[in-house]
């Protein structure tokens, strides 16, 4: 009984400290309206891991100010103190990926994906995987890097699938005859396709994606497996032998 009472008192003390931190943050926020100052305030607030702080950062990750959004995302990525806190932070981050100005802001979306990687929360896996297919290669690369950084079992097979797709596309391109006698963007009268790199050929886009994602996927799998493998076949054989007992690296 005494132990329960002590825990309750400590919880109230923690809440009081968090409330004080949020009040101080609010006062300083009204005084300092510069992006640099507000970014610093967010970083300081994020040092207090609590559901109330996650809620506050979640509201800021959709702010009109880009630097504030980036800082809030980074702050949410540090909320790893408890499983509950991680889930709350992941929920705020995944929601923010398609909210307001973030939807068309590549840098902020990359920042959010990076934060999800740092958070390592399984509930964020689906949203990260969805961005493997993003048309913007920078975002797709960030998603693959985040998948590896999450260090979760659920990301091994998706990364193997990415690597397999990249290998197939690169191999197919190596076997294709070179295009000659045409300028960048000009349609080849024989294939009816624009040359690689013109942005008008779906095949060229697939190859560009494969080249961009190949190394991030390969390095991510090497980190998750702890093995110096390079090919999909090697990773698949390793996974088949170790899937049942696999534990992600710390």
Residue 250 banded pLDDT, cuts 50, 70, 90: confident
pLDDT tens-digit readout, 209-220: 999 999 999 999
Helix (H, G, I), strand (E, B) or coil at 135: coil
Residue 189 banded pLDDT, cuts 50, 70, 90: very low
For residue 219, give both structure tokens.
């390095």
pLDDT tens-digit readout, 55-103: 999 999 999 999 999 999 999 999 999 999 999 999 999 999 999 899 9
Q: Is 156 exposed, middle or buried (0-12, 13-18, 19+ CB in 10 A)?
A: buried
On whether the 21-134 domain is CATH 3.40.1160.10, my answer is no
For the packed helices 137-150 and 202-225, what is the interaxial angle rounded to 10 degrees? Answer: 20
Q: How far is residue 95 from each of residues 5, 80, 92, 112, 120, measured CA to CA in Å? A: 37, 18, 5, 10, 16
pLDDT score of 174 = 83
Cα gap 105→109, rounded to integer Å: 6
Locate all alpha helices (DSSP H) within the chain, ordered by sequence: 2-31, 35-45, 51-60, 66-76, 83-96, 106-119, 125-130, 137-150, 156-175, 202-225, 232-242
Whole-structure pTM value: 0.85
Which one, of 68, 64, 70, 135, lies nearest residue 100 by Cα? 64
Q: Is 155 exposed, middle or buried (0-12, 13-18, 19+ CB in 10 A)?
A: buried
Write down the domain spans for the chain. 21-134, 154-174+192-245
For residue 101, give both structure tokens.
């100005």
> Rounded mean pLDDT of the chain?
88
Given a cut of 50, is residue 183 above it in pLDDT?
Answer: no
For residue 217, give both structure tokens.
């996927």
Cα gap 52→74, rounded to integer Å: 16
């Amino acid at each position: 009984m005494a132990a329960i009472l002590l825990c309750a008192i400590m919880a109230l003390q923690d809440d009081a400290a968090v409330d004080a931190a949020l009040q101080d943050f609010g006062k300083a926020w009204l005084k300092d309206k510069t992006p640099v100052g507000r970014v610093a305030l967010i970083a300081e607030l994020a040092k207090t891991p609590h559901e109330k702080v996650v809620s506050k950062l979640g509201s800021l990750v959709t702010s009109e100010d880009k630097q504030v959004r980036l800082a809030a995302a980074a702050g949410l990525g540090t909320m790893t103190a408890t499983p509950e806190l991680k889930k709350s932070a992941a929920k705020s981050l995944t929601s923010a990926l398609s909210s307001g100005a973030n939807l068309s802001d590549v840098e902020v979306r990359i920042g959010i994906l990076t934060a999800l990687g740092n958070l390592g929360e399984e509930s964020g896996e689906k949203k990260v995987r969805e961005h493997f297919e993003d048309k913007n290669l920078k975002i797709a690369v960030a998603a693959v890097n985040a998948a590896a950084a999450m260090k979760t079992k659920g990301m091994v097979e998706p990364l193997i699938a990415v690597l397999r797709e990249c290998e197939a596309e690169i191999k197919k391109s190596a076997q294709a005859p070179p295009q000659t006698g045409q300028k960048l963007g000009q349609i080849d009268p024989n294939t009816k396709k624009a040359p690689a790199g013109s942005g008008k050929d779906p095949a060229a886009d697939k190859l560009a994606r494969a080249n961009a994602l190949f190394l991030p996927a390969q390095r991510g799998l090497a980190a998750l497996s702890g093995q110096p493998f390079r090919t999909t076949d090697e990773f698949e054989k390793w996974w088949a032998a170790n899937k049942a007992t696999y534990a992600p690296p710390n």
